[in-house]
Protein backbone atom coordinates (compact mmCIF):
# COMPACT_ATOMS: atom_id res chain seq x y z
CA UNK A 1 0.00 0.00 0.00
CA UNK A 2 1.12 3.56 -0.73
CA UNK A 3 0.91 6.89 1.07
CA UNK A 4 -0.43 9.73 -1.08
CA UNK A 5 -0.37 13.44 -0.19
CA UNK A 6 -2.56 15.86 -2.13
CA UNK A 7 -1.49 19.50 -1.91
CA UNK A 8 -3.90 22.18 -3.11
CA UNK A 9 -4.20 25.92 -2.40
CA UNK A 10 -7.89 26.18 -1.50
CA UNK A 11 -10.80 24.42 0.15
CA UNK A 12 -12.88 22.69 -2.55
CA UNK A 13 -9.91 22.03 -4.88
CA UNK A 14 -9.94 18.40 -3.77
CA UNK A 15 -13.70 18.04 -4.27
CA UNK A 16 -14.05 20.05 -7.49
CA UNK A 17 -11.09 17.98 -8.74
CA UNK A 18 -10.33 14.30 -8.11
CA UNK A 19 -12.61 13.25 -5.20
CA UNK A 20 -13.76 10.02 -6.87
CA UNK A 21 -10.13 9.07 -7.44
CA UNK A 22 -9.36 9.83 -3.79
CA UNK A 23 -12.31 7.68 -2.72
CA UNK A 24 -10.99 4.81 -4.85
CA UNK A 25 -7.49 5.09 -3.42
CA UNK A 26 -8.82 4.96 0.13
CA UNK A 27 -11.07 1.98 -0.66
CA UNK A 28 -7.99 0.18 -2.01
CA UNK A 29 -6.28 0.62 1.36
CA UNK A 30 -3.88 3.44 0.55
CA UNK A 31 -3.26 6.21 3.08
CA UNK A 32 -4.44 9.52 1.63
CA UNK A 33 -3.60 12.88 3.18
CA UNK A 34 -4.65 16.39 2.17
CA UNK A 35 -2.72 19.62 2.73
CA UNK A 36 -4.59 22.82 1.85
CA UNK A 37 -2.49 25.98 1.89
CA UNK A 38 -5.24 28.54 2.61
CA UNK A 39 -8.69 28.67 4.17
CA UNK A 40 -10.07 30.23 1.00
CA UNK A 41 -11.61 33.20 2.79
CA UNK A 42 -10.97 35.71 -0.01
CA UNK A 43 -13.50 34.06 -2.32
CA UNK A 44 -16.00 36.47 -3.90
CA UNK A 45 -18.78 34.35 -2.40
CA UNK A 46 -18.12 36.12 0.91
CA UNK A 47 -19.64 39.32 -0.50
CA UNK A 48 -22.96 37.57 -1.15
CA UNK A 49 -22.94 36.32 2.44
CA UNK A 50 -21.78 39.60 3.97
CA UNK A 51 -18.73 37.99 5.58
CA UNK A 52 -15.16 39.11 6.21
CA UNK A 53 -12.24 37.11 4.83
CA UNK A 54 -11.63 35.66 8.29
CA UNK A 55 -15.29 34.71 8.82
CA UNK A 56 -15.53 33.11 5.38
CA UNK A 57 -12.31 31.21 5.98
CA UNK A 58 -13.67 29.71 9.18
CA UNK A 59 -16.86 28.61 7.43
CA UNK A 60 -14.91 26.97 4.63
CA UNK A 61 -12.63 25.29 7.17
CA UNK A 62 -15.67 23.74 8.85
CA UNK A 63 -16.90 22.59 5.45
CA UNK A 64 -13.50 20.93 4.91
CA UNK A 65 -13.79 19.03 8.18
CA UNK A 66 -16.99 17.52 6.79
CA UNK A 67 -15.19 16.72 3.51
CA UNK A 68 -12.45 14.86 5.37
CA UNK A 69 -15.12 12.75 7.07
CA UNK A 70 -17.00 11.99 3.84
CA UNK A 71 -13.84 11.01 1.94
CA UNK A 72 -12.45 9.17 5.01
CA UNK A 73 -9.10 10.90 4.61
CA UNK A 74 -6.23 9.48 6.62
CA UNK A 75 -5.34 13.02 7.66
CA UNK A 76 -5.94 16.63 6.70
CA UNK A 77 -4.14 19.90 7.44
CA UNK A 78 -5.52 23.30 6.48
CA UNK A 79 -3.04 26.18 6.67
CA UNK A 80 -3.92 29.88 6.82
CA UNK A 81 -1.63 31.34 4.19
CA UNK A 82 -3.13 34.35 2.36
CA UNK A 83 -5.86 33.27 -0.05
CA UNK A 84 -5.34 34.94 -3.45
CA UNK A 85 -2.02 36.19 -2.08
CA UNK A 86 0.42 33.31 -2.53
CA UNK A 87 2.05 35.14 -5.44
CA UNK A 88 3.03 37.95 -3.07
CA UNK A 89 4.80 35.70 -0.57
CA UNK A 90 8.48 34.84 -0.59
CA UNK A 91 8.38 31.43 -2.32
CA UNK A 92 10.98 30.05 0.09
CA UNK A 93 8.51 30.48 2.96
CA UNK A 94 5.81 28.47 1.19
CA UNK A 95 8.36 25.87 0.08
CA UNK A 96 9.68 25.37 3.61
CA UNK A 97 6.15 25.06 4.97
CA UNK A 98 5.27 22.43 2.38
CA UNK A 99 8.60 20.61 2.79
CA UNK A 100 8.15 20.35 6.57
CA UNK A 101 4.73 18.78 6.02
CA UNK A 102 6.04 16.33 3.42
CA UNK A 103 8.90 15.29 5.71
CA UNK A 104 6.44 14.66 8.53
CA UNK A 105 4.23 12.36 6.40
CA UNK A 106 6.86 10.83 4.09
CA UNK A 107 4.46 10.07 1.24
CA UNK A 108 5.30 7.84 -1.70
CA UNK A 109 3.36 10.15 -4.02
CA UNK A 110 2.79 13.90 -4.08
CA UNK A 111 -0.17 15.31 -6.01
CA UNK A 112 -0.87 18.90 -7.01
CA UNK A 113 -2.12 20.85 -10.02
CA UNK A 114 -0.58 20.60 -13.48
CA UNK A 115 1.46 23.58 -14.67
CA UNK A 116 -1.59 25.37 -16.13
CA UNK A 117 -3.48 25.07 -12.86
CA UNK A 118 -6.60 23.97 -14.81
CA UNK A 119 -8.31 27.30 -14.10
CA UNK A 120 -5.12 29.32 -14.55
CA UNK A 121 -5.68 31.05 -11.19
CA UNK A 122 -2.37 32.31 -9.81
CA UNK A 123 -2.71 30.48 -6.47
CA UNK A 124 -2.92 27.25 -8.48
CA UNK A 125 0.18 28.15 -10.49
CA UNK A 126 2.17 29.02 -7.37
CA UNK A 127 1.14 25.72 -5.76
CA UNK A 128 2.36 23.78 -8.79
CA UNK A 129 5.72 25.54 -8.74
CA UNK A 130 6.20 25.15 -4.98
CA UNK A 131 5.32 21.46 -4.85
CA UNK A 132 7.52 20.66 -7.86
CA UNK A 133 10.40 22.54 -6.24
CA UNK A 134 9.96 20.64 -2.97
CA UNK A 135 9.75 17.30 -4.79
CA UNK A 136 12.97 17.98 -6.71
CA UNK A 137 14.79 19.32 -3.65
CA UNK A 138 13.91 16.34 -1.46
CA UNK A 139 14.78 13.72 -4.06
CA UNK A 140 18.06 15.44 -4.92
CA UNK A 141 18.91 15.29 -1.21
CA UNK A 142 18.40 11.54 -0.99
CA UNK A 143 14.78 11.28 0.14
CA UNK A 144 14.00 8.50 -2.33
CA UNK A 145 10.94 7.34 -0.41
CA UNK A 146 9.30 10.12 -2.42
CA UNK A 147 8.70 8.20 -5.62
CA UNK A 148 6.32 10.19 -7.83
CA UNK A 149 4.93 13.67 -8.49
CA UNK A 150 1.47 13.39 -10.03
CA UNK A 151 -0.16 16.46 -11.54
CA UNK A 152 -3.94 16.60 -11.54
CA UNK A 153 -5.36 17.83 -14.85
CA UNK A 154 -8.20 17.53 -17.33
CA UNK A 155 -7.85 15.17 -20.26
CA UNK A 156 -8.09 16.29 -23.89
CA UNK A 157 -11.72 15.22 -24.16
CA UNK A 158 -12.87 16.64 -20.83
CA UNK A 159 -15.75 19.10 -20.91
CA UNK A 160 -14.43 22.62 -20.29
CA UNK A 161 -17.50 24.72 -21.06
CA UNK A 162 -19.05 26.29 -17.99
CA UNK A 163 -18.77 29.03 -15.42
CA UNK A 164 -14.95 29.08 -15.57
CA UNK A 165 -12.54 28.82 -18.49
CA UNK A 166 -10.55 25.64 -17.96
CA UNK A 167 -7.37 24.19 -19.45
CA UNK A 168 -6.79 20.62 -20.66
CA UNK A 169 -3.67 18.53 -21.08
CA UNK A 170 -2.94 16.80 -24.37
CA UNK A 171 -3.27 13.07 -24.92
CA UNK A 172 0.54 12.79 -25.06
CA UNK A 173 0.89 14.48 -21.66
CA UNK A 174 -1.52 12.15 -19.82
CA UNK A 175 0.21 9.35 -17.88
CA UNK A 176 -2.65 8.06 -15.74
CA UNK A 177 -6.42 7.80 -16.19
CA UNK A 178 -8.46 6.55 -13.23
CA UNK A 179 -11.85 5.04 -14.00
CA UNK A 180 -14.18 5.17 -11.01
CA UNK A 181 -17.40 3.37 -10.08
CA UNK A 182 -20.84 4.48 -8.91
CA UNK A 183 -20.06 3.98 -5.22
CA UNK A 184 -16.99 6.20 -5.54
CA UNK A 185 -19.09 8.77 -7.41
CA UNK A 186 -21.54 8.91 -4.52
CA UNK A 187 -18.74 9.45 -2.01
CA UNK A 188 -17.34 12.20 -4.23
CA UNK A 189 -20.75 13.88 -4.50
CA UNK A 190 -21.21 13.79 -0.74
CA UNK A 191 -17.84 15.54 -0.38
CA UNK A 192 -18.68 18.13 -3.03
CA UNK A 193 -22.01 18.93 -1.37
CA UNK A 194 -20.24 19.68 1.92
CA UNK A 195 -19.45 23.08 0.36
CA UNK A 196 -22.85 24.54 1.10
CA UNK A 197 -21.57 28.07 0.48
CA UNK A 198 -20.63 27.03 -3.06
CA UNK A 199 -23.89 25.40 -4.16
CA UNK A 200 -24.55 28.16 -6.71
CA UNK A 201 -21.07 27.65 -8.20
CA UNK A 202 -21.65 23.90 -8.32
CA UNK A 203 -24.92 24.53 -10.17
CA UNK A 204 -23.36 26.94 -12.67
CA UNK A 205 -20.38 24.71 -13.42
CA UNK A 206 -22.47 21.50 -13.40
CA UNK A 207 -19.64 20.00 -11.39
CA UNK A 208 -21.95 17.46 -9.78
CA UNK A 209 -22.87 16.16 -13.24
CA UNK A 210 -19.18 15.70 -14.11
CA UNK A 211 -18.20 13.83 -10.97
CA UNK A 212 -18.16 10.49 -12.81
CA UNK A 213 -15.68 11.56 -15.49
CA UNK A 214 -12.31 9.74 -15.57
CA UNK A 215 -9.62 11.39 -13.44
CA UNK A 216 -6.49 12.42 -15.37
CA UNK A 217 -2.92 12.99 -14.23
CA UNK A 218 0.41 13.89 -15.74
CA UNK A 219 3.57 12.49 -14.08
CA UNK A 220 6.66 14.64 -13.64
CA UNK A 221 9.67 13.13 -15.47
CA UNK A 222 7.83 9.87 -16.17
CA UNK A 223 5.98 8.85 -19.30
CA UNK A 224 3.48 6.02 -19.78
CA UNK A 225 1.74 5.07 -22.99
CA UNK A 226 -0.83 3.70 -22.67
CA UNK A 227 -1.63 5.58 -19.46
CA UNK A 228 -1.60 3.72 -16.15
CA UNK A 229 -4.86 2.96 -14.35
CA UNK A 230 -3.79 4.27 -10.93
CA UNK A 231 -1.28 6.58 -9.27
CA UNK A 232 0.35 3.66 -7.47
CA UNK A 233 1.26 1.52 -10.48
CA UNK A 234 4.93 1.09 -11.49
CA UNK A 235 6.37 3.27 -8.74
CA UNK A 236 10.13 3.75 -8.71
CA UNK A 237 11.80 1.04 -6.62
CA UNK A 238 14.85 2.80 -5.21
CA UNK A 239 16.54 1.65 -2.03
Domain 3-219 in this protein, CATH class? alpha beta
Per-residue pLDDT of 31-66, as tens digits, reads 999 999 999 999 998 998 899 999 999 999 999 999
pLDDT confidence band for 161 (50 / 70 / 90)? low
Is residue 163 scored above 90 in pLDDT? no
Distance of CA 30 to the CA centre of its chain: 16
Asked whether the beta carbons of 94 and 133 are under 8 A apart, the reply is no
Question: What pLDDT does 68 receive?
Answer: 98
Buried b (16+ CB within 10 A) or exposed e, 197-226: bbeebbeebebeeebbbbbbbbbbebeeee
- What are residue 110's DSSP bridge partners? 5, 149
Report the pLDDT averaged over residues 88-108.
98
Report the pLDDT averaged over residues 168-180.
97
Asked whether the beta carbons of 38 and 60 are under 8 A apart, the reply is no
Instruction: Look at 143-152, 162-171, 213-222 and tell me which has the smallest mean pLDDT.
Output: 162-171
Amino acid sequence: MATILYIFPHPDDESFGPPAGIAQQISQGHEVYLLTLTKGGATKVRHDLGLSIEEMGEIRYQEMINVAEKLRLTGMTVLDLPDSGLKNMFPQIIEQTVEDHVLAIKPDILVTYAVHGISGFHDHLVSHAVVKRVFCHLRSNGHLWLKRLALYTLGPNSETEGYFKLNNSTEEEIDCIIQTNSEEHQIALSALYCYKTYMETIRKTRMDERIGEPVHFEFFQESFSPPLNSLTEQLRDER
